A and B are shown apart, each in its own frame.
Chain A
Amino acid sequence: MLLYLIRRILYAVPIALSVSLVCFMLVHIAPGDPINAILPPDAPADVVASVRAAYGLDKPLPIQFGLWLSHVVTGDLGRSLATGRDIWPDLAAALQNTLILAAASAGIGFSLGTVLGSLAGANVGTWIDRVCVGVAVAGVSVPHYWLGMVMVIIFSVTLNVLPAMGSSPDGAGGWALDWVHLRHLILPAVTLSVIPMGIVTRNVRGIVVEVLGQDFITTLRGKGLRRSGVIVHVLKNAAPNALAVMGLQLGYLMGGSILVETVFAWPGTGFLLNTAIFQRDIPVLQGTILVLAMFFVALNLGVDLLQTAIDPRMRRS
């Protein structure tokens, strides 16, 4: 068990390093000299030369990577081209907003998905199953940026009950747990939740069907356990795999919210990315993607460890 834990944690290190290498290369696959990604195109020649030396861009790539990495681990992600500000403070604020949005959608998507998936799995082949599976397929097939627009049209334009944009009424981007701010969260969170809802439904359904087919369920039923009692056993056995799926989905929500954030002008990492892309602000793009990918790596690790901790069957393998 301990050996597995150590191996799993050690395995995350080369992955994290390679992920940062990919992020580092982003600047270099961008067309043109990477110096163009750091300085505006009209920078004077002596500035270009001094910045090139300061960033170590005159050194070979592996050494550049090492230098960049040594900055990154201390939290120095560089400066934005567009604003000239340090990237990290802005990114941290955006990250907080994305976390709020992702957590809210995860809450909605996971609970709906668990209910629908269990319902479908316990009633395989009936119309209940078909309805639940249909909802799940629609959830994973809908372009969520479009769904967001539909929501805005229904709830903001036609009914005028919920705000269409931003995270707070004053536009300052601050956040608090009150109705004024929650109102802004509802539409983006619901929109973003349809994908995890669909995927969790499909997976939970599959897991429940599998558990229900196992021998111990027949034994429990044979012993005269009531339906509700059997369900407790099913859920207990389905939980580890379902949790693994949900953990990954949370990561996808964090990284995949860019489209929904763009539709709702939600001031999170996706919005930051979108602005960076429009202004060709490659350092911001690079820093944001690095932090999000690292978050995903850590989440993957956490899910694996959690799964091992709560499922004794995993320890033996």
Chain B
Amino acid sequence: MSATVAPALPREKTRDVPAGYWQGVRKRLLRDKVTLICAGLLLLILFAILAAPWISPHPPFQGSMIRRLKPIGFPGYPLGTDELGRDILTRLLFGGRLSWFLGITPVAIAFVIGGTLGVVAGFAGGWLNMLIMRVTDVFYAFPSVLLAVAISGALGAGIFNAILALTMVFIPPIIRVAETVTTGVRNLDYVESARASGSGAFTIVRVHVLPNVLGPIFVYATGLISVAMILASGLSFLGLGTRPPEPEWGLMLNTLRTAIYTQPVVAMLPGACIFVTSICFNLVSDGLRSAMDVRA
């Protein structure tokens, strides 16, 4: 990648040859400062929460009745303490692990399941398409928050149930996107010619369809992570996700609600973490979308 070096004459020539798709994506991404900054911030947060056991100043569950609800900058507790005297910084670091896990896992599972079903529906067409898409329509008839609350409310609190509920929420939209892009690719000439030359359905999907549809589906899924984080923390906020004393941003926000009159700034910190993470995921997804030139 010496494209930025002043090019000599023969280099000018090679520039006329259209560069590879991924090279173009890379180039556009490197020029997109907002996306790069957000991706950097996300990496920083990821590193911090993964390293939580080593960089946290205190154990996450150690409370102290005489040090409850201390303000930011309290000696030894840089971000203050919560309603049970536990260090906020420590709990934010540990809480991020669960919040990220709860936000990303459902989207990842839904990407695999929804992507598969959508590609199958789009490629097969006919009654299989009808079946898959009509069932999808039913789940589309619920507003997403309501569906998540309904499923996890019926199943009861717990991390597993929350992930199950959120996965159910994200499968239908991913199926729809996957079906749309696959239907678009299915009727293109090169797929037709592959079929004429005797390729089996599996080979066509693997060689010709997947490389063309995975990008758009993936970009769409990254955009869902932001929603998933807000929803996952929202479920914990309602008491449906994580259970105390486990640290998680949404749950911390809930338990700190009682402290808004005494330590408002401390009480706002977990929500600010959700906000920053969510907005970064959103902007990175937008950047990927325009860099990969996805129109969906």
Stretch at the interface among A18-26, A57-65, A115-123, A223-231: A18-26
Residue of B nearest to A156 (CB): B260
- CB pair A31–B143 under 8 Å, yes or no, is no
Q: Is B291 an interface residue (CB 8 A)?
A: no
Question: Pick the contact of A255 from B142, B155, B274 — CB < 8 Å?
Answer: B142
Q: Is B22 an interface residue (CB 8 A)?
A: no
Residue of A nearest to B274 (CB): A143
A277 to B155, CA, bound (A): 10
Given A15-B137, A141-B282, A157-B264, check contact A29 B143 (CB 8 Å): no
Q: Is A282 an interface residue (CB 8 A)?
A: yes
- CB pair A26–B144 under 8 Å, yes or no, is no
Q: Is A4 an interface residue (CB 8 A)?
A: no
- Tell me the minimal C-beta distance from A119 to chain B in angstroms: 19
Residue of A nearest to B256 (CB): A149
Question: Pick the contact of A297 from B141, B154, B257 — CB < 8 Å?
Answer: B141
Question: Pick the contact of B154 from A19, A278, A285, A293 — CB < 8 Å?
Answer: A285
Q: Is B150 an interface residue (CB 8 A)?
A: yes
- The A251-285 residues at the B interface (CB cut-off 8 A) are 251-252, 254-256, 258-259, 262-263, 273-274, 276-278, 280, 282, 285
Q: Is the interface of A mostly helix, strand, loop or mixed?
A: helix
Q: Is A142 an interface residue (CB 8 A)?
A: yes
A256 to B146, CA, bound (A): 6
- CB pair B145–A259 under 8 Å, yes or no, is yes
Contact-residue size bin, chain A (C-beta under 8 Å from the other chain): 35 or more
B156 CB contacts on chain A under 8 angstroms: 30-31, 280
A285 CB contacts on chain B under 8 angstroms: 150, 153-154
- Tell me the minimal C-beta distance from B171 to chain A in angstroms: 14
- CB pair A141–B279 under 8 Å, yes or no, is yes
Number of interface residues of B (CB under 8 A): 44
- CB pair B226–A30 under 8 Å, yes or no, is no
Q: Is B253 an interface residue (CB 8 A)?
A: yes
A149 to B145, CA, bound (A): 19
- Tell me the minimal C-beta distance from B256 to chain A in angstroms: 9
- CB pair B286–A27 under 8 Å, yes or no, is no
Question: Pick the contact of B282 from A140, A280, A292, A296 — CB < 8 Å?
Answer: A140
B279 CB contacts on chain A under 8 angstroms: 137-138, 141-142
- CB pair B142–A296 under 8 Å, yes or no, is yes
- CB pair B282–A143 under 8 Å, yes or no, is no
- 7 example contacts (A-B, Cβ-Cβ < 8 A) are as follows A19-B142, A143-B271, A146-B268, A146-B271, A146-B275, A157-B260, A277-B240
Residues of A within 8 A of B (CB): 14-16, 18-19, 22-23, 26-27, 29-31, 137-138, 140-147, 149-150, 152-153, 157-158, 251-252, 254-256, 258-259, 262-263, 273-274, 276-278, 280, 282, 285, 289, 292-293, 296-297, 300
- In addition to A27-B154, A137-B286, 16 A-B residue pairs with Cβ atoms within 8 Å of each other are A15-B138, A22-B138, A137-B279, A137-B283, A138-B279, A141-B278, A142-B275, A147-B271, A149-B257, A149-B260, A149-B268, A152-B260, A252-B144, A255-B146, A256-B144, A274-B238
Q: Which 6 A-B pairs have the closest CB atoms?
A: A146-B271, A255-B143, A255-B146, A141-B279, A256-B145, A18-B138
